[in-house]
A and B are shown apart, each in its own frame.
Chain A
Amino acid sequence: MAERSLLSVSATTLEFGGVSALLDVDFEVESGELLAVIGPNGAGKTSLFNCLNGVYTPRHGSILFEGIELVGKRPARIANLGIARTFQNLALFANLDVIDNLMLGRHHLMKTGLAAGAIWVGRAKREEIANRLICKDIAEFLDLDQFGSTPVGLLPYGIQKRIELGRAMAMEPTLLLLDEPVAGMNLEERNTMTALIQQVRAERDMAILLVEHDVDFVMAIADRVLVLNFGRVIATGTPDVVTVHPEVVAAYLGAG
């Protein structure tokens, strides 16, 4: 199967004033698979995501998505190519309600500009209504449709995490980046989220790249695992292989 991988990261190095956040990182993600990225704090997991999104520009290396080079492209362009993201510390728009947040996920798929928006009747209205319906469906799917027009900033943390997932889904991505999707959740919320992620995977044909600390969660859900430590890849493979890898064990035990 000489198929091209969905995402192909090669020799990627990210530096901040002399310190390497990422060093010579190489890995691939295939369509439809779920690759978990684990590693101690400060290993470079979020930096990796930021590179994929175009927020940081790596000093060396190449990131190919469906054969297209991402390095050097603006984040909005990368979103348009089909990569969606949730954030470690949440990045919702606190003053807007659930549907508006989801609608922002639809932004790159919609076309209404200033002129059409100003007029409203006609194209803007049609597009708005059509996309709102899609967002309502997503909200229902994620059990988020009972919050009306409450600004999301006022909602509980677990709910906000789900809204962020919904926004990412609304973007209709081919690759979904989840940065610690169950961080700070209790057991019940965690199980709900895990089930949702599985469901999303099943229903839509997308690959998922996921950062998480919870090794059990990762074992249960991931097809393959990538382990980072001090910005380097120290192991890649299926969960059972990786978790007994000597360097991985050392890194986790060493880091405490």
Chain B
Amino acid sequence: MKLLPDKLTRMMFGLAVLIFLVTPLVLDDDFWMTVLANAGAFAVASIGLSILTGFTGQVSLGHAALLTIGGYTVGYFGADHGWPMWAWMLAAILIGALVGVAIGPFALRLKGNYLVVVTLALVFITGYVVENWTSVTGGFDGKSVNSASLAIGPVDFGELHIFGRDFSREQGIFYLCWIMVALTALVGRNIIRTRPGRAMRAVRDRDVAAEVIGVSNARYKIAAFAISSAMAGLGGALYAISLRFISPSNPAAELFLSIRFVAIIIVGGLGTIYGAVIGALLLGPLPELVQEFAGLFDFTIPIVDRPLVGDSPADNGIFSAASFSEILFGVLLVVFLIFAPEGIAGMIRRLRRRLAGRSNVDPDNVSDN
């Protein structure tokens, strides 16, 4: 029940905080800072999806659309209208929550696969709105997010200046994203270990029985959609800030992004908050990393006499960098689902249980949290 139940967890957490603080100092490289910042933005959104799918059992393929909405929120309110950071963040969260509340009722009427396809509808509808509501979204041209304010109080994440040291925009955004990850994880964890979180898990495991003992399916399914969409909106806003730009993508790309999020929470571990973060850290940056390090896969496949991954079309690689990362996601998803459905968090949990059996570690702290 406690937030950081045992010594090991506390140590790991402390280590994580340390790494977080120190990374930008050690890794003074814009590319890596951006990659990690993006991973952070994805982590925020993934925590949301984890609450929706992992804890409440509602599958959604529309998550990408919610990030897009968040991105346009910061573009419109933050960049176009110059709102202060706390304001556009709040807007991203609230608008996300509103969309979630709109979708939520569908989960009451529809089961399983029918619900999944309705979440797909969100992708198509958002795409349509984004492309055609040009006054707000800039249509096909997209929108620059560069001028959005990153300042709160005396601290401006765009131009951090601490102890006489100047931080680049990328470093500042890294800090901003991961601070939001910490806050989101805290909120998520708190919700899960209290009454509403228990209710959601009951709805996931046995919705009818849950109702019979007094848990209103309606309230908690809608709440789950609201929270996860709010987090996705926030994550999308942060992602847009990091990219400095937001533009429409076709439904195919959005579906692929939604699938990436599903892969993230599956690989990370479905029933946990920190699993979502691990998943985002490992899988979030994958496409960018593959693109950057395509050279590593440059080795030529003997019979075909072509490199495995081509940096550019001219290389005539068997896969393009984009293809390679897509296939990697596909393979990871399938492999984990078949062989390790509990994800990395599940593996860690099993490891700890085994250790608990052998040593003095308190077995009380290795449960479903």
Contact = CB atoms under 8 A, between A and B. Distances in A.
A248 B229 CA distance: 58
Nearest to B216: A76
Interface in B277-309: none
A117 B194 contact: yes
A87 B211 contact: no
Given A87-B209, A94-B205, A124-B194, A80 B366 contact: no
Given A87-B209, A91-B206, A128-B1, A117 B214 contact: no
Contacts of B205: 93-96
A118 B47 CA distance: 14
Interface string B222-252: 0100010000000000000000000000000
B227 A148 contact: no
A55 B211 CA distance: 9
Interface in A100-126: 100, 103-105, 107-108, 110-114, 116-120, 124
B195 A124 contact: yes
B199 interface: yes
B223 A114 contact: yes
B198 A118 contact: no
Nearest to A132: B1
A112 B363 contact: no
Nearest to A97: B367
A160 interface: no
B55 to A, nearest CB: 10
B208 A114 contact: no
A224 interface: no
Interface in A163-209: 167-168, 171
Contacts of B187: 118
Majority-rule SS of B interface residues: helix
A150 B193 CA distance: 16
Contacts of A84: 213
Contact of A96 (B201, B208, B215): B201
Given A74-B216, A148-B363, A107 B208 contact: no
A75 interface: yes
Contacts of A151: 367-368
Contact of B190 (A55, A93, A118): A118
Given A95-B201, A114-B191, A118-B187, A79 B196 contact: no
Interface string B176-202: 000000000001001101111111011
A96 B198 contact: yes
Given A93-B202, A112-B196, A114-B196, A124 B214 contact: no
A160 B214 CA distance: 20
B212 A85 contact: yes
Nearest to B190: A120
Interface of B: 1, 3, 187, 190-191, 193-199, 201-202, 205-206, 208-217, 223, 227, 271, 363-368
22 contacts: A53-B212, A55-B212, A75-B212, A79-B214, A87-B209, A91-B208, A93-B201, A96-B205, A104-B199, A104-B213, A107-B195, A107-B213, A108-B213, A108-B215, A111-B195, A114-B223, A116-B194, A117-B194, A118-B191, A120-B194, A149-B368, A150-B367
Given A96-B205, A112-B195, A124-B190, 11 more contacts: A75-B208, A79-B213, A91-B212, A93-B201, A93-B202, A95-B201, A105-B213, A107-B199, A113-B196, A117-B190, A127-B195
- 9 closest A-B pairs (Cβ-Cβ)? A108-B214, A149-B367, A79-B214, A91-B209, A117-B194, A112-B195, A75-B211, A120-B190, A76-B216
